[in-house]
Amino acid sequence: MNEYDFTLKFNLQNSQTDPNDYVEQLHESGCDDALIGVGEKGRIALNFIRQASSAYEAIKSAITDVKKVIPHATLIEATPDLVGLTDAAKILGCTRQNIRNLIVKSELGPPIPIYKGTPSIWHLAEILIWLRENKTYSIDDSLLEIAKTNMGFNTARSWQKVEPDIQENIKALVV
């Protein structure tokens, strides 16, 4: 069993719902390994440190536990996944300047940001893989696994928004 640290953010069906109404129920129904954030009406976030056989199993069981209490909750985002240089540096325990020098100034085919701007944004998994393979950084296997799995959940969530009749056409164009 590995330990996975991740956050799940949910939208509640009614935007006026006070998420505090669910805190005790969530704790009792299996989310006792999570810190629950309730700062905004209609939204709830849970930061889990969960033991499981895989990152997927950890996230799947966490979503299942949340949906037992809040069946109509919609997953907004699983983190860590989308990161800027500052976020990546914090996760890796180094400075933003260090990560910037590694990624932005590298000639070794650094990971391509999913958004190039101020700030640019990457999938954390792609940064971690690149650092491991090209810069021989020691990357925690559980962190890499959770970042890859979260990327999958977030990508799947976004893909659901694409109209089914054009999904195949899009797949053919981006391959």
The continuous run of DSSP H or E covering 63 comes out as helix 55-69
Q: What is the pTM of this model?
A: 0.91
Over residues 145-155, the pLDDT tens digits come to 999 999 999 99
Over residues 72-129, the pLDDT tens digits come to 999 999 999 999 999 999 999 999 999 999 987 777 789 999 999 999 999 999 999 9
Give the pair of three-digit tokens for residue 81: 């996944």
**Spatial CA neighbour of 6 closest among 147, 129, 155, 151:** 147
The C-alpha atoms of residue 101 and residue 53 are separated, in whole angstroms, by: 35
Cβ–Cβ < 8 Å for 55, 149: yes
Give the total residue count for the chain: 175
The continuous run of DSSP H or E covering 155 comes out as helix 141-159
